[in-house]
Amino acid sequence: MVDLARRLTPDLDVRVGTMLALDAADNAWAGIVALYSIIHLEATNVAVAIGEFFRVLCADGLALISFHAGDEVRHVDELLGQTVSLDFRFHRPADMVTWLEAAGFDVVVSLERRAYEPFEVGTQRAYVIARKPATA
């Protein structure tokens, strides 16, 4: 995917990295969109990632985080016809709000929705938008 993105958009800076140690300067980004990426982190590492989000966002920067809501771990050995070994970690929306606020974010909105079955896996979905305060 990264190679394809680099070929299709050569002027875009595409990198491989980790949410636990973002390769960006403090206050460098205006926004972060983390769609279903947090689901690959254990709860103990979610707070680390959120701390990194806070560090790299500029004042008034926004973070959108989506995830499967709950407190379970689902393991799959096959996905889209490929052999894999993946754990999908669900997180409680209230915990996500707590982690964001503890990092210094102001939570703007937190909402949940049901899956669009049969097109999505039948899980509850959560979305949280948080803003880094202007005075941070």
Smallest CA-to-CA distance from 57 within 89, 32, 90, 34 is with 32
Planar angle of CA 111, 131, 55, nearest 5 degrees: 125
Q: Give the mean model confidence (pLDDT) for residues 45-53.
A: 97
Architecture per CATH, 32-131: 3-Layer(aba) Sandwich (3.40)
- The mean predicted confidence, pLDDT, of the chain is 95
Is the pLDDT score of 136 beyond 80? Answer: no
Q: How confident is the model at residue 53 (pLDDT cuts 50, 70, 90)?
A: very high
Between CA 119 and CA 127 the distance in angstroms is 18
pLDDT at 1: 85
User: DSSP label at 69?
Assistant: B
pLDDT at 15: 87
Enumerate the domain spans of the chain: 32-131
Is the pLDDT score of 64 beyond 90? Answer: yes
Is the pLDDT score of 13 beyond 90? Answer: no
